[in-house]
Amino acid sequence: MLTFTSSPAHFLVEEQPAYQPSGEGTHTFVWLEKRGLTTFDAIARLAAAFAVAARDIGYAGLKDKQATTRQWLSVPDLDPERALTLAADDLRVLSAARHAHKLRLGHLRGNRFEVVLTGSAADDEVATLRARFDELAARGVPNFYGGQRFGADAANATRGLELLRGTRRERDHRKRRLMLSALQSAVFNRALELRATRGPLTDVIPGDVLKKTDTGGLFVTADPAVDQVRVDAGELLPTGPLPGGREIEPPPGTVARALEDEAIAAVGATRDDFARAGRDLPGARRPVLLRMADTAFCEEAATDPNGRAVRLRFTLPAGGYATVVVTAVTQNAGP
């Protein structure tokens, strides 16, 4: 059986930026490679190396710790040539260029992944994995949040609920945002589970909030049968909730609204709880399916002479989790 163990040797993550640095400005974008470090670990190291406040260092997304990852960070008032002097076994700057503003969370198109599965497997097992991978590349993967979203102890959603209720305080803005986002993610995952009990995730149900795949525009379905044709054609995707004060919601009394209310209640919260969080939780919608691009399934030499190794290559849009893809491939979890 081939399995995945997250490690710098078996997991590569490379950020796909939304734009390149312009070459001019008061901030310096650094293209960083790290191994066995969280993004916040890397930020702390840069802050110490260049005598800047960690809060002034920008990032577009959080990258896995147990992996080799490459991502952009921005540092104010740093000479690009000086940035290139940072080089260690677990952290090094590959390139640096100036830009006019700080890098902000979400300023990325997606991430490219390489995942190595290792173990023992017969030819027919490898063929089955290849078929599953190809099918998911064609159909899409359930867009669950991965376990890393919820923290090493899986308690970030619980902490987020405590923040929402006012029974917990957190002065660190980044940590507060992380915990509240984990609570939103728990609601989304539960909504996806409930939706799966009704049938295919892409079945349009009354009240669904649909997303246009070309522009990202959102609207509430007025005729599920008509919109189902557009979903089947790849023009639209149903979405699930990331509750907040300005989220587009299914209308009261609809099937979609009842399903999402049940998901919110499952984490111990209400819609009003999320609305009271104000600017910390504006809310959003997330597609129920994750589309892979640039896919490749490659068998390669294994370090164990009696074993086998398969490398999966794929690109996911921002917010997609490679671990969810791996689970879908190895456990035959499909939409």
Catalytic residues: 64
- Structure tokens of 105? 């969370």
Let me know: does 277 contact 205? Beta carbons within 8 Å: no
The total of other beta-carbon atoms located within 10 Å of residue 265's CB is 13
In angstroms, the CA 92 to CA 73 distance is 12
Among 329, 330, 234, residue whose Cα is nearest residue 291: 234
Tell me the CA distances in angstroms from 227 to 143, 196, 207, 235, 251, one per residue in order. 20, 19, 12, 9, 17
In angstroms, the CA 79 to CA 97 distance is 9
- Structure tokens of 36? 């066995």
Let me know: does 220 contact 209? Beta carbons within 8 Å: yes
Among 291, 152, 181, residue whose Cα is nearest residue 244: 181
Which distant-in-sequence residues (6+ apart) come within 8 Å of 5 by Cβ? 118
